[in-house]
Amino acid sequence: MMNHRKQWVPTNLRQRLLPYGLDFFEYALFLEILISRHSNMVGVFECPKYYLCADLLWNPEETGTRLEHLAELGLVYKDDSKGLIMINPTLGLNPIEDFRSPLQVNMAVKVLHHLPYSKIYRPLVKYLIALNKPSIKPVIKKLNSLCGLRDSE
């Protein structure tokens, strides 16, 4: 079992999300995904829709509709077949981009080791490659193996 981590929420999050036109409930769902006890240091985690339903005390249809809308807007990526959710890395809310120490990178690889194979990781791989930070190459390599890409892709 993985330990819960503390997640910061930027003070300007509501302002940053204004262009997406989220209603109160969609914002609440996004916030729940961001600070969920199911989340991890990589920003990709197993969180089936029913976990979110239980956490927010919402019915599955309502949660599914709102989650689908967040995905359509590009705020989150999801893989329903694996129960995976990932916050869009370009929003700058995934702490992985700030990893500096080898210990953080090693822990991220360990976290990823527990996640299933999915194509959901591809946007994160592309984003991390674009950052061009040599310190996170082991994370990129592990993500590549989880989404079926070779290291050169």
Q: Which domains does the chain have, with CATH numbers?
A: 13-88 (1.10.10.10), 95-147 (no CATH)
Q: CB atoms < 10 A from the CB of 83, how many?
A: 17
Contact call for residues 29 and 60 (beta carbons, < 8 A): no
Residue range 145-149: mean pLDDT, rounded: 76
- What are the pLDDT digits (tens) for 26-75? 999 999 998 888 788 888 888 888 889 999 999 999 999 999 999 999 99
Contact call for residues 112 and 142 (beta carbons, < 8 A): yes
**DSSP assignment of 44-61, as one string?**
EEE--HHHHHHHHT--HH
Q: CB atoms < 10 A from the CB of 30, how many?
A: 23
